[in-house]
């Protein structure tokens, strides 16, 4: 009997997995324990071994496609067995290759079609003018003034109205020709983006029926579409977008009326458009006015006060949109939850690292593994946590978990973001042991070979950006830990020692604390102990 294989939850934070590679295809035999696929989670790329036995009848996704946790990954059964009923009962249709049925879309299309056919407007010689989206953040425009009134003739390129957006007052030029039959709003009233701004057409056109049909169609779409707000916010096609430019102001506070083409020509020629006399409607500056303008005819005093004309710079706006990886999605979600749910506070302390620098040099002469400053910080932090158990805690909502073991998470930067493998029982391990383990975990992280046991269970986290030249920073707490230590670089600077200014090596650390679980005095006491241990590192070797 056919059996559905569902996407397993391979980590505590996993919500979906991407099929990195299929090791079996439809029609292949698979045995229990055999490798079926490689799945990319938010933490690593992991092997998925089959728990079922039989023939692969169906695959729920292609390579590179995501599958949500508990969604259908595959169907395994007897060769030739009908599995479509099983897929339908699982919430998926097998007839279209595992994709969800398109009935809702068909129903929407049908509803829209009926709505469109309800009123015949094919013989009405008029067009509806919609409010364009004149800025990237515009949601509605306020009619500042109408340049035409109902019954007036309108030509293409003529000023129809001035529209106040969230950015500026813009001039709206008509790209239709005919008689203005209807205005969508009075001066001072708002019209939403893609709302009816006006109707232009033949003088005797039945614009009332056209408007009614448009409203019926809009109501049908809003009733059938799940996200009407997004549909309304969609801007018109670029080729239909009317020309709109911000209106300039005269020195006296009045407005300079000019066509967009005239403004552009004046700008390219370096002319002050407020000095050009307009011959168009109501003194509007036209293309011909700019062409006929002679700045040399102006008095020398006026020219002396003219603004400096800068040459036009032409460039190309380009960008690339990169799909968000599973790891980056989880980082965004978890750190957002941490930052906005846990009340963070920060404690910064400066530590003299002179003795650590000397000790590391001596230890590396005898250590089987090269020690880094971060390895020494991990060891010192573990020793300080043993003395301050109230920092080694987790907030669980109705209770605080005081961890008696010390598992330190070490933030490691990888290609797609950040992972935090864990050094377990760090307080019981030697420096060389910690160094070797951190190197191994970092390599596994870069190769995407970390297993859940490698990243789960931290009780405290360290994030070190000192190797990048960062002197000081604050880090966001890594749940469920209550604290994270941000470690900066060691900087050689002047310090005061025994009343004398001498050169010294200084490192700044910042402790981020969840105030629900750790108080300021508790965090400060922990930092004081950490400072003492690092300024006298022989104490952490005991």
Which residues participate in catalysis according to the annotation? Answer: 515, 519
CA 507-510-516 angle, to 5 degrees, is 160
Q: How many CB atoms lie within 10 A of CB 256?
A: 20
Distance of CA 500 to the CA centre of its chain: 51
Terminal Cα-to-Cα distance of the chain (whole angstroms): 63
Distance CA 41, CA 38 (A): 10
Distance CA 327, CA 10 (A): 13
Alpha-helix residue ranges (DSSP H) falling in 167-298 = 207-224, 228-232, 260-269, 287-292
Using an 8 Å Cβ cutoff, are 526 and 384 in contact?
Answer: yes
Distance of CA 268 to the CA centre of its chain: 38
**Residue count of the chain:** 542
Q: How many CB atoms lie within 10 A of CB 541?
A: 11
Region class of 167: left (phi > 0), else alpha (psi between -120 and 50), else beta: alpha
Distance CA 195, CA 189 (A): 12
Distance CA 140, CA 190 (A): 6
Distance CA 139, CA 233 (A): 7
Separation in Å, CA 208 to CA 128, 190, 204? 11, 21, 11
The radius of gyration of the chain from alpha carbons, rounded to an integer in Å, stands at 35
Burial 258-287 (b: 16+ CB within 10 A, else e): bbbbbbebbeeeebbbbebebebeeebbbb
CA 420-521-474 angle, to 5 degrees, is 35
Q: What are phi and psi of 537, to 5 degrees?
A: -65, -15
Using an 8 Å Cβ cutoff, are 131 and 192 in contact?
Answer: yes
Using an 8 Å Cβ cutoff, are 482 and 505 in contact?
Answer: no
């Amino acid at each position: 009997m056919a059996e559905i294989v569902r996407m397993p939850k391979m980590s505590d934070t996993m919500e979906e997995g991407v099929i990195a590679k299929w090791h079996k295809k439809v029609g292949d035999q698979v045995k229990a324990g055999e490798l079926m696929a490689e799945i990319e989670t938010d933490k690593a790329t992991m092997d998925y071994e089959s728990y079922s036995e039989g023939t692969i009848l169906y695959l729920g996704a292609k390579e590179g496609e995501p599958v949500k946790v508990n969604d259908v990954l595959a169907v395994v059964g007897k060769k030739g067995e009908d599995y479509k009923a099983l897929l339908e009962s699982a919430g998926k249709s097998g007839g279209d290759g595992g994709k969800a049925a398109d009935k809702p879309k068909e129903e929407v299309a049908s509803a829209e079609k009926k709505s469109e056919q309800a009123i015949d407007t094919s013989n009405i010689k008029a067009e509806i003018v919609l409010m364009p989206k004149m800025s990237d953040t515009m949601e509605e425009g306020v009619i500042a003034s109408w340049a035409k009134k109902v019954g007036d003739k309108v030509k293409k390129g003529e000023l129809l109205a001035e529209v106040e957006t969230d950015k500026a007052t813009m001039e709206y030029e008509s790209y239709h020709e005919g008689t203005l039959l209807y205005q969508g709003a009075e001066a001072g009233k708002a019209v939403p983006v893609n709302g009816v701004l006006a109707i232009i057409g033949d003088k005797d056109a039945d614009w009332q029926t056209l408007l009614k049909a448009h409203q019926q169609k809009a109501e049908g779409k809003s009733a059938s579409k799940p996200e009407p707000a997004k549909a309304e916010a969609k801007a018109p096609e670029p080729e239909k977008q009317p020309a709109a430019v911000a209106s300039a102001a005269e020195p006296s506070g009045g407005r300079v009326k000019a066509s967009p083409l005239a403004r552009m020509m004046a700008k390219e020629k370096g002319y002050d458009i407020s000095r050009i006399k307009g011959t168009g409607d109501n003194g509007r500056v036209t293309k011909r006015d700019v062409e006929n303008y002679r700045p040399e005819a102006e008095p020398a005093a006026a020219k002396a006060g003219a603004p400096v004309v800068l040459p036009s710079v032409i460039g190309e706006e380009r960008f690339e949109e990169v799909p968000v990886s599973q790891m980056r999605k989880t980082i965004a979600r978890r750190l957002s939850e941490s930052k906005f749910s846990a009340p963070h506070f920060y404690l910064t302390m400066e530590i003299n690292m002179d003795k650590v620098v000397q000790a590391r040099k001596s230890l590396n002469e005898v250590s089987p593994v090269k020690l880094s400053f971060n390895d020494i910080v991990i060891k010192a932090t573990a020793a300080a946590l043993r003395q301050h158990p109230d920092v080694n805690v987790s907030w669980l909502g109705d209770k605080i978990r005081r961890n008696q073991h010390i598992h330190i998470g070490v933030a490691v930067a990888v290609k797609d973001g950040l992972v935090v493998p864990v050094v377990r029982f760090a307080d019981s391990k030697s420096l060389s042991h910690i160094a070797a383990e951190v190197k191994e975990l970092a390599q596994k992280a870069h190769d995407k070979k970390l297993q859940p046991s490698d990243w789960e269970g931290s009780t405290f986290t360290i994030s070190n950006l000192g190797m990048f030249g960062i002197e000081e920073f604050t880090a966001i707490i890594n749940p469920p830990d209550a604290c994270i230590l941000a470690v900066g670089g060691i900087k050689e600077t002047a310090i005061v020692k025994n009343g004398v200014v001498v050169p010294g090596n200084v490192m700044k650390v910042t402790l981020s604390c969840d105030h629900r679980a750790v108080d300021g005095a508790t965090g400060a006491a922990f930092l004081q102990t950490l400072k003492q241990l690092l300024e006298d590192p022989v104490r952490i070797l005991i």
